[in-house]
Amino acid sequence: MHTYVSSPSRALPRLALALAVLGLAACSPRDHAARSGPLTAEQAWELAGLSLLDDAGRAFRTLSSESAKEEALFGRALTLLVAQPKTETNIHQAARLLTALADEASDPGLRVAARYYLGRVEQVHRLAPDRAAAARIYAALFEEHPDTLFGQLAFIKWSLLELHRGAAEDFEARASAVEDAGRLLTIPTLRKEHHLHLAFARLRNGRRDQTTLAHLRSAVELGVVRVNSRTNATIALVNLAHELGDHETALRFGRDFLAEFPRDIRASRVREILATLPSENPAEAASS
């Protein structure tokens, strides 16, 4: 389980978006050892993003300007969470710093970000994770701050916990609650994740219906970035559309799949489906 370090600072909004939503971007390390004097907050985040956690932790500890103090505490907390080996002392110290920031930070965005990472502490970082506590943190954060990046990230984490808890008998009620709440999402990347998670949760629970098809289609149309997820989502969409008799959807996305992934091992299955569909040019569908 990887945790990517991101800054909520208003001075670094693009860095926060890239690291928190999409994961650590590919980047080339620079010669940080050659730098002299105290580093800036932005340079400290760059070190953290490169997984140079000891250097980042030292840089955050040396930030002395009044405007950077809270951001430095936040950076220290996150580097403690991802430091290896993981220790109970580091986790406890990180949680203490995040709690103080969530309660007292002067920057509202920093308070929201700190609460999000407190949820991550409970979900994945504690030696004995408390997913129910994490779910409560995420749900409250999204309810209070639905229009923020970290509020919407919290929704995605809550929805996954909600979809995978409980008995199969009450899955439909839980899925409906997640679907309704997700209408408030505005960030395209997170809307895509929302539809993708709902679609595959529904498939795992035997819901091969129009609602599942709609979520698959929305996810694919919004653009699934990861290749493995995109191929799986498109194949699921084509298969379910064919099964439900939605020939137009099966034909459109089947052709898209073959154009992008002609050598995928499942391409032959897509060709078989296309060959059965009515089209203006059946021969073209069969040989795509």
Q: Which pLDDT value is given to residue 7?
A: 52
pLDDT-derived band of residue 30, with 50, 70 and 90 as boundaries? very low
Task: Count other C-beta atoms under 10 Å from residue 258's C-beta.
Answer: 18
**Averaged pLDDT for residues 217-221:** 96
CA distances from 64 to 48, 59, 202, 225 (A): 18, 10, 51, 39
The structural domains of the chain, with segments of one domain joined by +, span 1-23+36-129
Per-chain mean pLDDT for the chain: 82
* Listed residue (5, 187, 8, 41) closest to 114, CA to CA: 8
State what percent of residues in the chain have pLDDT above 90.
61
Packed helices 13-21 and 41-49: angle between N→C axes, nearest 10 degrees: 20
HSE at residue 152, side-chain half, CA atoms within 13 A, is 19
Q: Which pLDDT value is given to residue 64?
A: 54
CB-based burial of residue 209 (10 Å sphere; 0-12 exposed, 13-18 middle, 19+ buried)? Answer: exposed
Q: Which pLDDT value is given to residue 279?
A: 67
Q: Under a CB-based contact definition with an 8 Å cutoff, are residues 254 and 219 in contact?
A: no
Cα(257)–Cα(235) distance, rounded to whole angstroms?
Answer: 8
Q: Which pLDDT value is given to residue 11?
A: 40
Lowest-confidence region among 29-38, 88-97, 171-180, 256-265: 29-38
**How does pLDDT run across 227-269, given as a tens digit for each residue?**
888 999 999 999 999 999 999 999 999 999 999 999 999 999 9
CB-based burial of residue 73 (10 Å sphere; 0-12 exposed, 13-18 middle, 19+ buried)? Answer: buried
**How does pLDDT run across 50-83, given as a tens digit for each residue?**
556 566 666 666 665 555 788 888 888 888 888 8
Cα(53)–Cα(261) distance, rounded to whole angstroms?
Answer: 38
Instruction: Select, from the ranges 197-211, 219-233, 265-279, the one with the highest average predicted confidence (pLDDT).
Output: 197-211
Whole-model pTM: value is: 0.79
**Averaged pLDDT for residues 108-135:** 95
Cα(157)–Cα(159) distance, rounded to whole angstroms?
Answer: 6
